[in-house]
Amino acid sequence: MQLFIDSADVAELRAVAASGLIDGVTTNPSLIAKSGRKMKDAIAEICSIIPGPVSAEAVATDMEGMLAEGRYLARIASNVVVKLPLTENGLRACRTLSDEGIRVNVTLCFSAVQALLAAKAGAYFISPFIGRLDDKGVDGMDLIRDIRRIYDNYGFATNILSASIRSVEHVRQAALAGSDCATLPPKTFAAMYKHELTDSGVEAFLKDWASTGQSIL
């Protein structure tokens, strides 16, 4: 499963990129606003840090506006993926941009039938929001499993990008459910390294090694 970081903070992204384990980045208008930077500048720098897909979201709500913004964003860098909402206008714009060879991440997906429409519209990514469904008392992971089955049934090439990830457990479940990708906050990515038995094991090995008085080098 590919791992993306959900952030527009360049310092954060440089730090996680150093791991060599990150495959892409997702941003949204809220994250861009939090960065305090102009979208074009922020996206251009992020694309220079992470060679994989970088989602940049249009903010227009009408189809023509989405198309204009989508084409503009796609010109910033070759690895930009245009992010559009799962609305009727969003899917119409997705169809047009996809036909033009521009990759589209259809976001704010909350049902399997929405995901079916996005795939038919040519979406490169579909972003189901797990955490927000959990907040409503619905098991968000059921949605991932449903989308996986539908896409496999009909051979859709759209990639499932699990979003609104809240925990390492969400990452585990998404991987088991067959999600192609997951986008997560930097803190959640950092938590994936951690396990108490790993920490205690390292501590014990180092203690035993120190007792030998040896040096490897």
The residues that are catalytic are 83
- Helix (H, G, I), strand (E, B), or coil: what is residue 6? strand
Query: 81 near 105, Cβ under 8 Å?
Result: yes
Bridge-based pairing state of the strands 24-26 and 181-184: unpaired
Cα–Cα distance, 87 to 83 (Å, whole number): 12
Tokens representing residue 124 in the block: 């490169």
165, amino acid identity: I
User: Minimal CA–CA distance to 84: which of 118, 52, 53, 112?
Assistant: 118
Beta-strand (E) ranges in 48-138? 54-57, 80-85, 104-109, 125-128
Cα three-residue angle 120-23-176, rounded to 5 degrees: 65
Cα–Cα distance, 60 to 66 (Å, whole number): 5
